């Protein structure tokens, strides 16, 4: 994954405590989104390099649970081309890029100018083919992966 990836951890996580105030991924503090002592969801911070390392969960008691070498940061995704760059409802559009899934396994949504604008036809980590929906205007194309990361 990369910055913005939602990471879910399960198991005995609190070490005798009642909550998880801090989680680090490769030494970078992650935002704790949801937590209890058996399940935590955090959002990875930016690391700036491709690397694999530990997730350290710190309970409110100070007890730590370490999961060794379980998270790999990957390069930022990017869109390299969109063809065609204009069209109407029903137009098939090809989006090419790198790491479009943001470390995940698929696309959760694709928006144009903040509006759900496309119906995916085929998807891969480097190529997404979509059909434009009616009522779509001009604007930025944003791909959101199933990890919550956007490109």
- DSSP letter string over 12-65? S-STTSS---EEEETTEEEEEEEE-SSEEEEEPPP--S-EEEEEEEE-TTS-EE
Print pLDDT tens along the chain (151 aa).
Answer: 778 888 999 998 888 889 999 999 999 999 998 888 899 899 998 887 788 999 999 999 999 999 999 998 887 889 999 999 888 888 888 999 998 988 788 888 888 777 776 767 778 999 999 888 877 777 888 998 888 888 8
pTM recorded for the entire structure: 0.66
For residue 25, give both structure tokens: 């991924």
| C-alpha dist (Å) from residue 26 to 20, 23, 74, 99, 103 | 17, 10, 13, 20, 16
CA distance 85 to 20: 46
CA distance 96 to 127: 5
């Amino acid at each position: 994954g990369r910055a913005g990836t939602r990471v879910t951890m399960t198991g005995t996580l609190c070490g005798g405590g009642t909550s998880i105030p801090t989680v680090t991924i490769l030494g970078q503090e992650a935002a704790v989104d949801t937590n209890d002592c058996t399940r935590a969801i955090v959002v990875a911070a930016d690391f700036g390099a491709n690397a694999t390392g530990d997730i350290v969960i710190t309970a409110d008691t100070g007890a730590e649970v370490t999961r060794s070498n379980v998270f790999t940061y990957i390069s930022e995704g990017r869109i390299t081309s969109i063809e065609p760059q204009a069209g109407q409802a029903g137009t098939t559009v090809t989006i090419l890029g790198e790491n479009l899934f943001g470390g995940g396994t698929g696309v959760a949504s694709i928006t144009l100018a903040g509006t759900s604008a496309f119906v995916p036809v085929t998807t891969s980590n480097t190529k997404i083919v979509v059909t434009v929906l009616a009522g779509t205007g001009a604007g930025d194309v944003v791909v959101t992966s199933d990890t919550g990361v956007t490109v």
